[in-house]
Amino acid sequence: MRILVTAASKHGATGEIADRIAQRIGDAGHDVVRQAPEDVTSIDDFDAVVCGSAVYMTQWMSSAQDFVARFESELTDRPFWAFSVGMAGVPKHAPQDPSRIGPVLLRVRAEDHRAFPGRYKPELLNLRERSIGRLAGAVEGDFRDWDAVNAWADGIVSSLSA
């Protein structure tokens, strides 16, 4: 099967998660294309789509939201998975609550939506972002759970094989 893995990432952590998902699906024998949402012009050649986004202020990034809006009708007739990455470093290192990412996923039916914790590196952020992180009590560090990412990608592979 030919699978598109796309993700909006501002500082790279979400992109690296998308890369890992693409790698796992590809290692299982599928033809995987990893592309930024704004660079996708058609999904006609794909049998399934995985789309993710970093979450800022409880919203997916605009390029991921635009992707879902542009391909809304096409996404209803093929398997579609979604993931969110956000709020790394908040107390207890909890990921962003997936029910609070705005209306973007109400437009389509995802096979599954998974929220993953990300990474908080203040040196990658602008002053506004660092200020928000400080106010939220963010803790510096990389909280990505690669075992959880791998397991989720492997679940996609299992679903594609069924």
Q: What is the pLDDT of residues 37-95, one digit of tens each?
A: 999 999 999 999 999 999 877 789 999 999 999 999 999 999 999 999 986 545 544 54
pLDDT at 126: 81
Rounded mean pLDDT of 143-152?
95
pLDDT at 101: 65
Q: Does residue 149 register a pLDDT over 80?
A: yes
SS3 for the chain is CEEEEEEECCCCHHHHHHHHHHHHHHHCCCEEEEECHHHCCCCCCCCEEEEEEEEECCEECHHHHHHHHHCHHHHCCCCEEEEEEECCCCHHHCCCCHHHCCHHHHCCCCCEEEEECCEECHHHCCHHHHHHHHHHCCCCEECCCHHHHHHHHHHHHHHHHC
Structural domains of the chain in order of their starting residue, each with its CATH number: 2-161 (3.40.50.360)
Of 106 and 78, the one with more pLDDT: 78
**Biggest CA pair distance of the chain:** 48
Instruction: Tell me whether residue 139 is exposed, middle or buried, using C-beta atoms within 10 angstroms of its C-beta: 0 to 12, 13 to 18, 19 or more.
Output: middle
**Of the listed ranges 38-42, 102-106, 121-125, 150-154, the one predicted with least confidence:** 102-106
